Amino acid sequence: MNSIVKKFLLIMVFNCSLFLILMIGLQNNERKNRINLLVNESVALPVGFIIGSSFISGSIIGGVLTLNYGSKKS
């Protein structure tokens, strides 16, 4: 398998496992807030879900953007 494909699969498996742990941990959370968007507000979500999902999406985007960075041939 190509090294870029292996790195991508590692990034996706790691972040999906973090998302599963986030879902399991937030099952009994009752404290919920709304996010103010430009047009309107979102649905009421737990604060931990908002913070955790933004961390996971940043991790995915950062990992995907740097996939080809280290594999340049000289």
Q: How many domains does the chain have?
A: 1
Dist CA 64 CA 58 (whole Å)? 10
Dist CA 64 CA 9 (whole Å)? 10
Assess contact for 6 and 71: CB atoms under 8 A. no
Kindly state whether residue 70 falls inside one of the protein's structural domains: no
What is residue 71's DSSP assignment? T
List of residues 6+ apart from 63 with CB closer than 8 A:
7, 8, 11, 15
Kindly state whether residue 32 falls inside one of the protein's structural domains: yes
Confidence class of residue 16 from pLDDT cuts 50, 70 and 90? Answer: very high
Kindly state whether residue 74 falls inside one of the protein's structural domains: no
Kindly state whether residue 72 falls inside one of the protein's structural domains: no
- β-pair type (45-46, 32-33): antiparallel
Kindly state whether residue 73 falls inside one of the protein's structural domains: no
Which domain does 36 fall in, by range? 3-65
pTM (two decimals): 0.73
pLDDT of residue 17: 94
Once rounded to an integer, what is the mean pLDDT over residues 15-29? 88
Residue-wise pLDDT for 31-61, tens only, equals 788 878 788 887 888 888 888 889 999 999 9
